């Protein structure tokens, strides 16, 4: 019987230690009695530092999280069990999502808390929601663009017919009308790209050469804003399988945005390098006013913009193009210092 009990204990100890989820046993004095390897990995602490510690002090550096844990324990005391979730931003800026549940009295005098890292699942769900929004906006954009383009064609035609009859004192009005019509036309084109992306023909291209062409193209505008380009291209980078014209559209949009957020001048730093021979990373950093953290998550959403006369479509189209290249766009920003866009494009292409 003693041997059977020992085997049973070893079996359950093995299950406890090797569980993929974080497991914490704590007593009615809120002190941690035991924990497994997954929990140690989640909290970044050894068992010696966790055992004996109060569960209320697991996030002592985050006061609002302590209150969440207190509320959770109160519900456990009342109901016997409770499920909750928590979002934690680490010192490195990485946001983690956790689901955790507690069962009271799992063993006499002991309570069990199970912690599950659902960060990947949450991010995947967010990507799915974003994809659904893009599809809806695409369908809406197709209808709007079609309805606007017809009267726009008539307006542009008649304005051109009236040009010879316009007197010199009214020439300024004509210029304003034609420029605004051109602006409306560019917005319609962005709508159409959202609704039906152009046919993409992937080619092997030198990403540095594509960026050099864009920098040369935008140099004149940069001079007007007293902006200087600083470029750093890693040597002997492999070719990227991409649609060059689509990537040019993304680079032009991001660099023009960077120029416009520095009306008093400054520097734009562009760097291209490989990441572990798996990705090419293109970094575009400006010295503008920066973007508040709560607004960074909204970038790329339909009609969200930080510019006074912006539509938000340019960045949304950029996100879609990079998504079609199986890449990603990350944004880092600090108010008063500037914003950094990181574009990653995979080197390996799947047919």
Per-residue pLDDT tens digits for 92-148: 667 788 888 888 888 888 888 898 888 888 888 877 777 676 667 667 767 777 677
Same domain? For 109 and 145 the reply is: no
Alpha helices in 20-83 (DSSP H): 37-43, 47-50, 63-79
Residues 139 and 168 grouped into a single domain? yes
Give yes or no: residues 102 and 125 share one domain: no
33, burial (CB in 10 Å: exposed 0-12, middle 13-18, buried 19+):
middle
pLDDT band at 284 (very low <50, low <70, confident <90, very high): very high
Domain that holds residue 22: 2-117
In 3-state terms, what secondary structure has residue 35? strand
The string of pLDDT tens digits covering residues 21-59 is 889 888 888 888 889 888 888 887 888 888 888 887 776
In degrees, rounded to 5, the angle at the alpha carbon of residue 227 between the alpha carbons of residues 223 and 231 is 110
- pTM reported for the whole predicted model: 0.51
At residue 98, φ and ψ (nearest 5 deg) are -130, 140
Q: What is the CATH number of the domain that holds 159?
A: 1.10.287
How many domains does the structure of the chain reveal? Answer: 3
Between 56 and 326, name the one with better pLDDT. 326
Asked if 172 and 225 sit in the same domain, the reply is no
Query: Which pLDDT belongs to residue 222?
Result: 87
**Per-residue pLDDT, 197:** 55
Contacts of 295 (CB under 8 A, 6+ apart): 306
Domain endpoint, select from 169, 196, 223: 196
Question: Domain check: are 128 and 260 in the same one?
Answer: no
- If we measure between CA atoms, which residue out of 215, 240, 217, 214 comes closest to residue 229? 215
Q: Between the CA atoms of 203, 206, 207 and 211, what dihedral angle is there, to the nearest 10 degrees?
A: -120
CATH of the domain at 81: 3.30.450.20
Tokens representing 314? 């340019």
- Token pair belonging to 37: 């390897």
Q: What angle do CA 51, 54, 118 make, to 5 degrees?
A: 85
**Degrees to nearest 5, angle at CA 345 with 138 and 127:** 45
Calpha distance 113→83 (Å, rounded): 10
Facing residues of 341 across strands?
284, 331
What confidence tier does 192 reach under pLDDT thresholds 50, 70, 90? Answer: low
Tokens of residue 286, six digits: 């400006």
16 and 152, same domain (yes or no): no
Specify the residue for token string 């989640």: 42
Instruction: Count Cβ atoms below 10 Å from residue 280 Cβ, excluding itself.
Output: 23
Query: Do 263 and 351 sit in the same domain of this protein?
Result: yes
CATH code of the domain in which 230 resides: 3.30.565.10
- 270 and 248 in a single domain? The answer is yes
Q: What whole-number distance in Å separates Cα of residue 30 and Cα of residue 53?
A: 8
Q: Are residues 337 and 207 in the same domain?
A: yes
- Choose the final residue of a domain: 69, 85, 117: 117
Tell me 331's DSSP state.
Answer: E
Within the chain, strands assigned E span: 22-27, 32-35, 81-89, 95-107, 110-117, 203-205, 227-233, 240-242, 266-275, 279-285, 328-334, 338-346
| Whether residues 178 and 309 fall in one domain | no
Last residue of a domain, one of 167, 196, 225: 196
DSSP per-residue codes, 89-128 = E-TTS-EEEEEEEEEEEEETTEEEEEEEE-HHHHHHHHHH
Q: What is the rounded average pLDDT for all residues in the chain?
A: 80
- 12-25: average pLDDT: 85
One domain, residues 113 and 128:
no
Note whether 239 and 338 are same-domain residues.
yes
């Amino acid at each position: 019987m003693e041997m059977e009990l020992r085997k049973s204990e070893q079996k359950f100890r093995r299950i406890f230690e090797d569980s993929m989820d974080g497991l914490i046993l704590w007593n009615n004095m809120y002190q941690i009695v035991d924990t497994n390897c997954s929990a140690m990995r989640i909290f970044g602490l050894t068992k010696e530092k966790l055992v004996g510690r109060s569960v209320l002090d697991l996030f002592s550096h985050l006061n609002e999280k302590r209150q969440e844990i207190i509320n959770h324990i109160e519900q456990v005391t009342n109901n016997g069990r409770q499920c909750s979730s928590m979002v934690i931003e680490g010192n490195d800026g990485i946001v983690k999502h956790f689901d955790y549940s507690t069962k009271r009295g799992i063993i006499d005098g002991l309570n069990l808390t199970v912690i599950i890292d659902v960060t990947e699942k949450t991010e995947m769900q967010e990507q799915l929601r974003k994809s659904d929004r893009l599809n809806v906006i695409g369908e809406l954009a197709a209808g709007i663009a079609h309805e606007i383009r017809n009267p726009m064609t008539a307006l542009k035609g008649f304005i051109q017919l009236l040009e010879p009859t316009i007197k010199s004192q009214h020439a300024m009005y004509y210029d304003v009308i034609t420029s605004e019509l051109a602006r409306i036309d560019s917005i319609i084109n962005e709508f159409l790209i959202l609704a039906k992306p152009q046919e993409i023909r992937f080619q092997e291209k030198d990403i540095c050469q594509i960026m050099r062409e864009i920098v040369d193209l935008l140099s004149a505008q940069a001079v007007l804003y007293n902006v200087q380009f600083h470029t750093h291209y890693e040597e002997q980078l492999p070719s990227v399988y991409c649609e060059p014209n689509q990537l040019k559209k993304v680079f032009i949009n991001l660099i023009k945005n960077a120029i416009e957020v520095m009306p008093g001048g400054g520097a734009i730093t562009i760097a291209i390098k490989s990441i572990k021979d798996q990705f090419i990373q293109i970094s575009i950093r400006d010295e503008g006013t920066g973007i508040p953290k709560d607004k960074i998550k909204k970038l790329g959403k339909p009609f969200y913009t930080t510019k006074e006369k912006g539509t938000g479509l340019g960045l949304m189209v950029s996100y879609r193009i990079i998504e079609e290249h199986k890449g990603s766009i990350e944004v880092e920003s600090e108010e008063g210092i500037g914003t950094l866009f990181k574009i990653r494009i995979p080197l390996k292409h799947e047919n």
